[in-house]
Amino acid sequence: MTNVLGKYSNQLYAVMRFVVGVSFAVHGAQKLFGVLGGSKVPLLSQWGVAGVIELVGGILVAIGLLAGWAAFVASGEMAVAFFMAHFPKGFLPINNGGELAVLYCFVFLYIAAKGAGIWSVDGALRR
């Protein structure tokens, strides 16, 4: 499979970065605007701050602008979310409902380490 998809790894990474960023931004939009099945939360609350990080960070990651920094902050937010909201319900994410928080945390950590890559604003600015 490496021989088949390996030559497209940069393109697949860019698509993953975009999909993860947009998905994360949607969570922020739910909190901040009460759209897409979400409930609007007060902006100056812990949930409101989380919504801002998710919306802004998700957009930055999706377009690849300051993607490493945005992903690092988003990764931290998801680690905090896991330990504050899920870990008290049990250790294992499968049992405490924290799978999405753990997944986002580590995908964003990888994006923070790798950077924006191709098809990104950061990449265009470097040229």
SS3 at position 119: coil
Per-residue pLDDT, averaged over 70-90, amounts to 97
Handedness of CA 3, 115, 85, 54 (dihedral sign): negative
pTM across the whole model: 0.94
User: Do 29 and 55 touch, CB atoms closer than 8 A?
Assistant: yes
At 4 the pLDDT is 83
- What does the alpha-carbon distance between residue 31 and residue 21 come to, in Å, rounded to a whole number? 16
In the prediction, which pLDDT does 2 show?
A: 62
- Tally Cβ neighbours within 10 Å of residue 40: 14
Domain ranges of the chain: 9-122
Give tens-digit pLDDT for 108-119.
999 999 999 999
Whether residue 15 is predicted with pLDDT greater than 90 in this model: the reply is yes
Q: Name the residue with tokens 């008290």.
A: 88
Contact by Cβ (8 Å): 104, 1: no
